[in-house]
Amino acid sequence: MVSLDGKTALVTGASSGIGRGIAIGLAEAGAAVGVSHPPFEGESERAAAVVSEIEAGGGTALALEGDVRSAESIESMVAAFEERFGAPDVLCNNAGIVTQSELAEMPVEMWDGMIEVNLRGVFLTTRFALPGMLDAGRGSIVNTASQLGIKGAPELVHYSAAKGGVIAFTRALAREVSPTVRVNAIAPGPIETDLLADISEEWRAAKEAELPMGRLGQVDDVVPTVVFLASDESGYYTGQTLSPDGGDAMH
C-alpha cells in the first residue's frame, strides 16, 4: 500500500465529490489533511462531516474555508493550514464548477466564471502554497483537469478551455519547479458525483456505450491515482497527466 505517513496535504473542493474522496484517500494513506471548502451554504457542514469521517478512521484533518476566486481568501486559507501543519507536502487543486452553453449563446459572465474558478483558482492556491513548499525543499502538486481538456466537447468550450489550461499550467510549472516540487495532473472522465445527478438516462446510456470500459467512473476509480502522484512512489513523475477516464480520451 502506498504510504503518506508523516505527510500533510491540502485539498481544495474537498467537501464533496471527487475532492471528498481524495481527502479521505490521502488520510487513509497516512497524511494529515486540510479539507478546504467554498464559502457557500451547507459547505462548512459537509467539510465538517469529511473531517469527522477522517478522524473516526484514526486520521487527522482540519476544515478550512477558501474561496478560490479570491486571492485574499486563499492566502488566508493557506496561512491557516501552515499554522497548523507547516508547508503542505501535497497540494491537490481540485475545486471546480461545470456549466453548459453553446458558445454562440454563452454569456460573457459564464465564460469568466468558469476561468475564474477552474483555472485562476488553480493559480491562486498554487501561488500561495508554493513558496512554503519550495522553502521546505519538497512537495507534490496534483491538479484536477478533465478528459475534456484533452478532447473537448460541444456546449463545454469554456470548461474544456479551462481544463486544457490546467494541463498546460501543470507542464509549465513542472519545468519551473522540479525536482524540488513535482507537478502532475489527473484528467478524469465522467465520474458519478453530484455534478452528474441531473443527466438524462439517454445521455448516460449513450456515454456508457461510447466508453471502452462500458461504464461511468466512480470516485474510487480516481482516488488511487491521486494518492500515487502524492506519494514518493511517483518520484520520477512530473509534468504528467494521468487519465482515469475509462478510455474516453486515449491521448
Cell 491521486, residue located:
226
Q: How far apart are CA 114 and CA 34, in angstroms?
A: 24
CB atoms within 10 A of CB 132: 17
Angle, helices 71-85/121-136, rounded to nearest 10 degrees:
30
Cβ atoms within 10 Å of 203's Cβ, excluding its own: 12
Helix, strand or coil, per DSSP, at residue 90: strand
CA 133 to chain centre: 18
Minimal CA–CA distance to 180: which of 142, 140, 144, 143? 140
Of 81, 128, 159, 169, the active-site residue reads 159
Question: 10 Å Cβ neighbour count for 165?
Answer: 18
Separation CA 182–CA 203 (nearest Å): 37
What's 242's DSSP letter? E
Distance CA 176, CA 10 (A): 21
DSSP 3-state of 31: coil
Residue 159 annotated to the active site: yes
Q: Residue 196: which of 249, 150, 241, 146 has the closest Cα?
A: 146
* Residues taking part in catalysis: 159
